[in-house]
């Protein structure tokens, strides 16, 4: 309508006006997403940071208390357990899922029959939620109904397997389940890497008479080294955010033995009404992520520049 009026009153500038609209179109379409992302990344983070420095309890209030929330967080035994668990879990989980994933990738890489079937089997846990995985594994760990009961039923009546209900070992139940869920992911990435290695390299090694084992150790694995780092970084990221798996598997128990930072944040904010301290814990999670991701991204950028320089 207004467009039409414009053309009637001033015929000449009509085209530039439309052209200007045309050239502004990309920004107009992109605008809302940019604003939303900006708010999501910067405003939300700043907001939570501010709450973490305030005396908020049940509702956010904005009395400034400096680092008090951080001090009481680090003085709390449960937070320290959560933080220790995070380190323990990350270490075993990353090494475990990468080792299993690499083994599976190498096995599948031996020109096995029915490759697609094997891959489908090893990857399906990834499609399912951690809630489903955690729930099912909590049944398997249950001493009276699960694995222990089955083995005892077979005759070993002294067999004991009660990982998840023992507070010293429950964290290993979480680790095993985590590795089960995500080693297929490591496998997929490693396999993609192995397949992308230049086949001339392999042929040259074969002509030199190198054994398969040697070819993997000396040629293939060094070539896909960057993938190891990528997988590790992704897994650490996941480990820091771990919430669903523990919520469904052990609910942080027995007692507080499998508390994770993400579980603790949820508890502080929504069960105990200590929003300030909960926000402080969330900021600590972000800090942990940054410690991993910032050096990694810098390294990736540096490597790309170097490659571009050589190429």
Smaller CB separation from other proteins, 118 or 172: 118
* Whether 97 contacts 182, CB under 8 Å: yes
Instruction: Please give the Cα distance from 162 to 36 (Å, whole number).
Output: 47
Nearer to other proteins (CB atom), residue 47 or residue 80: 47
Angle 220-224-229 (CA atoms, 0-180°, nearest 5)?
145
Spatial separation of the C-alpha atoms in residues 265 and 141, rounded to whole Å: 26
137/153 Cα distance (integer angstroms) = 19
Q: The tokens of 148 are what?
A: 């222990």
HSE, CB side, 13 Å, CA atoms: give it for residue 170: 24
Task: Tell the smallest beta-carbon distance from residue 208 to other proteins (Å).
Answer: 19
CB of 154 vs other proteins, minimal distance in Å: 10
Rounded CA separation 244/246 (Å): 6
CB of 263 to other proteins, least distance (A): 10
To other proteins, the closest distance from the beta carbon of 172 in angstroms equals 16
Q: Could you tell me if 261 and 268 are in contact, meaning their C-beta atoms sit under 8 angstroms apart? A: no
Instruction: Select 9 or 207, whichever has its Cβ closest to other proteins.
Output: 207
Shortest separation between residue 219's beta carbon and other proteins, angstroms? 19
Of 25 and 201, the one with the shorter C-beta distance to other proteins is 25
In the bound state with other proteins, the residue whose beta carbon lies nearer, of 41 and 225, is 41
Query: Minimal distance in Å, beta carbon 45 to other proteins?
Result: 6
Instruction: Identify which of residues 43 and 204 has a Cβ nearer to other proteins in the complex.
Output: 43
Q: Which of 234, 276, 264, 230 is nearest to 85 (CA)?
A: 264
Counted residue by residue, the chain has a size of: 311
Phi-psi label, residue 189: left if phi above 0, alpha if psi -120 to 50, beta otherwise: alpha
Nearest residue (CB) to other proteins, 56 versus 171: 56
Question: Of 1, 192, 26, 51, which Cα lies nearest the Cα of 109?
Answer: 192
Min dist. Cβ of residue 21 to other proteins (A): 10
DSSP 168-186: TTHHHHHHHHHHHHHHHHH
Cβ of residue 218: shortest distance to other proteins, in angstroms? 19
Q: Which residue has the tokens 């200007």?
A: 20
Biggest distance spanned by C-alpha atoms of the chain: 96
Q: Which is nearer to other proteins, 89 or 137 (CB)?
A: 137
């Amino acid at each position: 309508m207004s467009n039409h009026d414009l053309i009637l009153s001033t015929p000449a500038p009509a085209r530039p006006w439309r052209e200007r609209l045309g050239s502004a179109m990309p920004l107009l379409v992109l605008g809302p997403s940019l604003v939303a992302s900006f708010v999501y990344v910067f405003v939300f983070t700043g907001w939570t940071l501010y709450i973490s420095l305030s005396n908020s309890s049940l509702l956010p209030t904005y009395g400034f208390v400096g680092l008090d929330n951080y001090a009481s967080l680090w003085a709390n035994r449960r937070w320290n357990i959560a933080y220790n668990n995070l380190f323990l879990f990350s270490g075993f989980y990353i090494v475990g899922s990468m080792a299993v994933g690499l083994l599976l990738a190498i096995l599948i890489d031996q020109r096995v029959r029915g490759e697609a079937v094997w891959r489908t089997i090893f990857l399906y846990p990834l499609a399912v939620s951690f809630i489903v995985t955690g729930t099912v594994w909590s049944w398997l760990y249950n001493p009276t109904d699960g694995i222990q009961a089955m083995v005892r039923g077979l005759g070993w009546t002294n067999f004991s397997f009660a990982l998840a209900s023992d507070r010293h070992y429950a964290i290993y139940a979480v680790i095993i389940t985590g590795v089960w869920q995500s080693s297929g992911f490591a496998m997929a990435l490693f396999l993609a890497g192995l397949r992308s290695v230049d086949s001339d390299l392999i042929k040259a090694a074969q002509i030199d008479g190198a054994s398969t084992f040697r070819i993997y150790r000396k040629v293939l694995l060094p070539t896909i080294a960057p993938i190891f780092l990528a997988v590790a970084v992704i897994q650490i990221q996941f480990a820091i955010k771990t919430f669903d798996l523990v919520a469904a598997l052990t609910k942080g128990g027995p007692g507080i033995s499998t508390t994770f930072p993400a579980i603790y944040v949820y508890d502080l904010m929504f069960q105990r009404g200590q929003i300030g301290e909960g926000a402080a814990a969330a900021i600590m999670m972000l800090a942990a992520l940054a410690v991993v991701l910032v050096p990694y991204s810098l390294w990736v950028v540096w490597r790309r520049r170097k490659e571009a320089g050589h190429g």
